[in-house]
Structure 1
Amino acid sequence: MVNVAEIAPDLYRLSLFVPQLNMQFNHFLVKDEEPLLFHTGLKAMFPPLLEAVSKIIDPASLKYIAWSHFESDECGALNQWLEVASNAEPVCTLVGKLVSVDDFSDRPARGMLPDDVLSTGKYRYRFYPSPHIPHGWDAGVLFEETTKTLFCSDLFHHFGDVAPLTTDSLIEPTTNGMQLLRQGPLAGYMPYTSQTEGVLRKLADLKPETLAVMHGASFQGAGDQLLLDLAEVIRVNFDGE
């Protein structure tokens, strides 16, 4: 079952909860002149997500399909979506396009740098590179400049079947989540490097007002302070020194 909630104007959160993992997998649909889907979901999740999208827009009208980094829950079902939406364009960071996506995808991707602007009609997007934050050399986060929404992928990852949107701080649930993720084979979940704090400070400078979180509740409020606080949470849990 897909839980659908509008968390900002024209922005729909499509959530699938997996009890075995105690974790939500969230996908975000922007309803605009040229609709955008952020996160394709896993291949097995494609049928219920397609049904959920079809209740909001005609899936064939999708123009952009974007994600943060090359990972199955981020872009595993990309080619299934491209089959449905014949005019859709994959969108990711330039590094992602060059090192993985154009070989995997049935259609070449638009590889974006921070100076590049993608317009869906009412809304304007930029991709900001965030290597290894949350994962991978190719990682980036998408920012919508009109509503100040940051599509932040695995940043603020937390567990549970939680509300679609909250105004409460995400720092405590994120800290609890990272304490679980740093154990055993998952110890390298999110590395802390000399660049971590600087990357998060640059994202905080965008002053996002909505954080669209992939695993857990999305947030509405002063996102800049949460991003600044997140650097310390990552350091405490994943700094190997």
Structure 2
Amino acid sequence: METRVDEIADGIYRISTYVPEVAAPAGFTFNQFLIDAEEPLLFHTGMRHLFPAVSEAVGRVLPVEELRWLAFGHVEADECGAMNAFLAAAPRAEVAHGLQGCLVSLNDLADRPPRPLAHGETLDLGGKGLLRRRVMHLNTPHVPHNWEARVLFEETTGTLLCGDLFTHLGNGPPVTDRDLVGPALEAEEMFRQTSCLTAAVGTMRSLARLAPRTLAVMHGSSFHGDGAAALRALADGYQERFGPERVFAARPSALAGADAPRG
């Protein structure tokens, strides 16, 4: 495995570990995103066994002990498995997550009490150089999965930390301006990771209104360009390829033997 660090937007670094055995032969990347600010924030921690590699990569940008905030899209091993290892390594660090995730999981799982965030609430990370960093917390329940799911939007650079949205296979460049929608739809065909299609499509179209310039993708290359158009295209692709009428048409056995509705 190789862990590399690349700056994908001004002061935002992608930490990426390529694991060829996952989804072979293409392989799969597990990415974290570090915002370098007065109060640095790490979005995703990686799994527990990746902590040595990810923490070493963080240290190439800033001392790990200076981390102030840990955040992630939802409670899952690749998102927050190393959470407590980072809390131990960074004495001032706090986990910041939506209220739902704090209530159902993180109040119990985190070694220090987490900071619950309301929908639309911002964390002011302070300045670094000429830029001041602010991240907005947005609840996206069940999108792409888990009821406490959320994203973060870094307002200064227009970077949407979108977690598992746009997941795709392979070990592409750190950031690209090429279309990610086709590869993301192919990955969805394989993994079927996204739940509640109606909510997913509406949520993606709502996120498009942020007009992000960079999409920080957890699995695969990040994207630089018209993020709003990419989000709308992904929503359209999900609706066309995975709409309820297509799901039921492809899986008639799910209703086989069921009692007929009774009027």
TM-score range, shorter chain: over 0.9
Residues in 1 aligned to 2:243 and 2:60: alpha-carbon distance in whole angstroms: 41
The residue aligned with 2:228 is: 224
Determine helix, strand or coil for the equivalent of 1:134: coil
Query: Greater CA radius of gyration, 1 or 2?
Result: 2
- Is 2:150 aligned against 1:145? no
Query: Shift of residue 37 of structure 1?
Result: 0.3
The residue aligned with 1:3 is: 4
TM-score by length of 1: 0.94
Contact 1:211–1:219, Cα closer than 8 Å, also in 2: yes
The residue aligned with 2:59 is: 54
Determine helix, strand or coil for the equivalent of 1:194: helix
Query: Shift of residue 238 of structure 1?
Result: 6.4
Residues in 2 aligned to 1:14 and 1:172: alpha-carbon distance in whole angstroms: 24
Residues in 1 aligned to 2:17 and 2:200: alpha-carbon distance in whole angstroms: 29
Can you give the 5+ residue segments of structure 1 that lack an aligned partner in the other structure?
Answer: 183-188
Task: Pick from 159, 163, 166 the counterpart of residue 176 of structure 2.
Answer: 166
Determine helix, strand or coil for the equivalent of 1:14: strand
- Is 2:45 aligned against 1:40? yes
- Is 2:207 aligned against 1:197? no
The residue aligned with 1:114 is: 119
TM-score by length of 2: 0.87
Fraction of identical pairs, as percent: 43
- Alpha-carbon RMSD across the aligned residues, in angstroms, is 1.2
Q: Deviations over 1:202-226 (max 9, x none)?
A: 1000000000000000000110111
Q: Deviations over 1:97-118 (max 9, x none)?
A: 1111110000111111233210
Query: How many corresponding residue pairs?
Result: 235
- Is 2:133 aligned against 1:123? yes
Residues in 2 aligned to 1:103 and 1:31: alpha-carbon distance in whole angstroms: 29
Query: Shift of residue 193 of structure 1?
Result: 3.2
Determine helix, strand or coil for the equivalent of 1:2: strand
The residue aligned with 1:214 is: 218
Residues in 2 aligned to 1:18 and 1:238: alpha-carbon distance in whole angstroms: 31
Query: Shift of residue 234 of structure 1?
Result: 2.5
Contact 2:144–2:200, Cα closer than 8 Å, also in 1: no
Q: Deviations over 1:57-90 (max 9, x none)?
A: 0100000000010100001110000000010010
Q: Which amino acid aligns with 2:20?
A: P
Q: Deviations over 1:177-218 (max 9, x none)?
A: 112223xxxxxx212433222211210000000000000000
